Structure 1
Amino acid sequence: MKRRWIFGAAALLSIVLAGCGSSTEESSQSSKSAATEVTAEATTQTINYLNKEYTVSTEVKNIVAASLESMEDAAMLGIKPVGVLQVGGKIPSYLAEELTGAQLIGDKMEPNAEAILTLNPDVIVGSSKWKEDIVEKMNKIQTTIPYSHISTNWKENLTVLAQLGGKEKEAAQMIADYEEKATQSKAKVQEQLAEQTVLVIRIRGGVMYIYPADVYLNPVLYEDLGVPVPEVIAQVKAQAEISLETLAQVNPDAIFLQFETSENADAPQTLEELQSNPIFKSLKATQNNQVFVNAIEPLAQGGTAWSKMKFLDITVEKLLQ
């Protein structure tokens, strides 16, 4: 009986040990699986931008700036994209120094997907102007953020790009500096320009255009500095043509006139013809030397930190005594 008990105890011990071994193995495998999940989670991050979420790498190194807006903000933040858009076959001259070394990826309407793919991007910062098929094509390459072309989204734009490039503190300081300067200048602007009519006019394809108060460079004038919104601006809902006759009726006190050669390839003489036109020469702005041609870079997109900060300085310099 004693021998049988010993044998039974030994068998039982073997079963227990086998069970422990299986449990230990399962525990080990479970731990490895959990560790793998943690590692996988740690390699990506979720970024919130204009009420949508985008998943990108936790270590974003290769940023493709596939919009002029993101290129301007990258230049402001000191971020070096690996790829940028071209204008006339090269990096736009006003951003060339800050973005030197970046590869060209095509034009703003439809960047070259093959060129972008070779750059192995961690994220593509595109444009909200893109059509759905372009967005879909870019998302197949890498997560694509449709950088807003709406001027009033400039803070959100700067902030999301700063998150991607590790420049959050710089972005926050830029926004604070801008708001402080605008606030300091606003009282003086409202005092001196209370009865003044100021317009931003952009010549494209040989035609003069104006924009709503919250579009292009206008928010700097009408929102941030408190310049009175002219009736002709209040009436438009999008980019709208303004004729020379209507401009004469408005008869503005000051005009910021934008003329970019690449946007007027079929009408290169438009600016000279306008300036020599008797009606234009009779305007109060012309008579008082308050027509400022390309006071800010004519390719400036308007709704970016770069554009707003430059135009704020220019507006204060040109319009205030």
Structure 2
Amino acid sequence: MYNYLSKNRLYAVLFIAIVLLLAACGSDDNNDATDNDSDSNTEENTEQTVDSEMGEVTIPANPEKILAPYHEDTLLALGITPTAKWAIGESVQNYLEEELQDIETIEWTMPLEQVLSYEPDLIILENSFDSYEGTYEDYSAIAPTYVMSQEETSDWQVQLSRFGELLGKEDEAEQAIADYETKVEEANTELEDILEDESVAFMWVVGGQYFLFEENRHAANMVYSELGVEVPQLVKDLGETEATWDPISLEKLSELDADHVVILGLEDDEGIETLNNSNVWQNTKAVQNDQVYHIEDQSNWTNSGIKAYEQTIDELINIFK
């Protein structure tokens, strides 16, 4: 009896060992297959050669150090932190500082020494090189350099989609645009209930001068065309946006018939003091009805990125709640 049990146990042990060995081999085969799949996926996610305004450029896979001066808004919308942020001296895009406050700056003229110092994996530039110190050849010698088309430079949705394609973030780009469209739809309904057919003008006061936003100037374009806010007659009379933004005279502001006026800029600016002491300004409809509002930071209002627009929508809703 004892011998019988021992042999059976021996056979059982041998059987289990064989099963485990076969399982291990199968696991190795699966691991090899997984590794092969992983290698295959890695190969699929390698560099890609695309067309840009300056011809073909090879975009590296998963670049970690990206320079896209003035278009950090788009990178952040895709969940990417730039290696440096656009600046003019001490001035930066303030509305992005909550996310970029610890990121070093790069001068808006893109000095070659600064660019070199950041050792970028990828550089993304606007289609015009007028403001850059270097040439395309200079920058492309440092890192692969993608030059946007005019449409990609000026239309944030086109730009966001293109960046998504270049950086393997197509899903993130689609989701960001879908979320934005939902936000616009909700804000449109809310503002329609609050303002009805009342008009709103937007004016930037800086250095004692007054800049009235045309219908398609920066964030005003979104407010008027997407949120459906009524355009004052004087704003309509300004016509299409020109490349040069000319100040409007105090005397001309006497014609401003807006029901509401949003003033952007520091409240201690000399221009604000002049307005407060001006009979011309004090007699406008919005002032008479106590419908003038102040927002100190104009940075999101003078930009056209998705994050800029979302912040503008939030501020506008908060003003009129």
TM-score normalised by structure 1 residue count: 0.70
SS of 2:319's equivalent? helix
> How far off is 1:308 after superposition?
0.5
Moved more, 195-204 or 305-314: 195-204
- Three-state SS of the structure 2 residue aligned to 1:86 is strand
1:186 matched residue in structure 2: 188
Matches of 2:294 and 2:54 in 1, distance apart?
38
SS of structure 2 residue aligned to 1:96: helix
Contact 2:62-2:167 within 8 A present in 1 as well: no
2:119 aligns to what? 120
Contact 2:232 2:258 survives alignment (8 Å): no
Give the equivalent residue in structure 1 for 2:65. Answer: 62
The answer on 1:236 being equivalent to 2:247 is: no
SS of equivalent to 1:138: helix
1:311 and 1:215 map into 2 onto residues whose CA distance is: 14
229-238 or 115-124: which moved more? 229-238
* Cα distance in structure 2, aligned partners of 1:130 and 1:298: 26
The structure-2 alpha-carbon separation of the partners of 1:132 and 1:292, relative to structure 1 and needing over 3 Å to count, comes to closer
1:246 aligned to 2:249?
A: no
SS at match of 1:95: helix
Identity of aligned residues (%): 25
Deviations 1:6-44 (A, max 9, x none): xxxxxxxxxxxxxxxxxxxxxxxxxxxxxxxxx999753
Asked whether the equivalents of residues 151 and 304 of structure 1 are also in contact (C-alpha less than 8 Å), the reply is: no
Tell whether 2:48 aligns with 1:45: yes
The 3 A distance-change label for structure 1 pair 273 and 47 is farther
Match of 2:280 in 1: 279
Cα shift at 1:279: 2.3
Paired residue type of 1:312: I
Q: Give unmatched runs, 5+ long, in structure 1.
A: 1-38, 262-266
Q: Which of 154, 157, 177 is the aligned partner of 1:155?
A: 157
Corresponding residue to 1:257 among 257, 260, 263:
263
Please state how far the C-alpha of 1:221 moved relative to its aligned partner: 1.4
**Separation (CA, whole Å) in 1 of partners of 2:190 and 2:54:** 36
Q: 1:292 to 1:124 in 2, by over 3 A?
A: farther
Please give the alpha-carbon distance, in whole angstroms, between the structure 2 residues aligned to 1:95 and 1:61. Answer: 20
Cα separation, 2, equivalents of 1:160 and 1:150: 7
Paired residue type of 2:205: I
The residue number in structure 1 matching 2:29 is: none
Relative to structure 1, is the Cα distance of residues 132 and 80 closer, same or farther in structure 2, using a 3 angstrom cutoff? closer
Q: What are the Cα deviations for residues 71-126 of structure 1, in whole angstroms up to 9, with x where unaligned?
A: 233344432111222344375554334124433222x2x12211111222122233
SS at 1:244's partner residue? coil
Structure 2: how far apart are the matches of 1:286 and 1:196?
15
In structure 2, do the counterparts of structure 1 residues 130 and 298 end up closer, same or farther at CA, with 3 Å as the change threshold?
farther
Runs (4+) of structure 1 exceeding 6 A deviation are 39-42, 48-53, 147-152
Q: Using a 3 Å threshold, how does the CA distance of structure 1 residues 53 and 153 change in structure 2: closer, same or farther? A: farther
Aligned to 2:34: none
Change (3 A) 1:52 1:218: farther
Partner residue, 2:5:
none
Number of residues of Structure 1 aligned to a counterpart in Structure 2: 272
Q: CA deviation at 1:148?
A: 6.2
TM alignment of 1:196-211, pairs within 5 A: 196-211=198-213
State the Cα distance separating 1:58 from its structure 2 match: 2.3
Please state whether the residue corresponding to 2:99 is helix, strand or coil.
coil
- The one-letter amino acid paired with 2:309 is K
Gaps of 5+ in 2: 1-41
Determine helix, strand or coil for the equivalent of 2:118: coil
AA aligned opposite 1:248: S
CA drift of 1:309 comes to 0.4
Task: Return closer, same or farther for 1:51/1:153 CA change in 2, 3 Å cut-off.
Answer: farther
What residue in structure 1 maps to residue 130 of structure 2?
131
Q: Secondary structure, in 3 states, of the residue corresponding to 1:208?
A: strand
* Change in CA separation of 1:212 and 1:273 when aligned onto 2, cut-off 3 Å: closer
Q: Following the alignment from structure 1 to structure 2, what is the Cα–Cα distance between the partners of residues 218 and 90?
A: 22
Letter in 2 for 1:247: L
SS of equivalent residue, structure 2 residue 155: helix
Q: Distance in 2 between matches of 1:149 and 1:216?
A: 15
Counterparts of 1:45 and 1:64 in 2: how far apart (Å)? 18
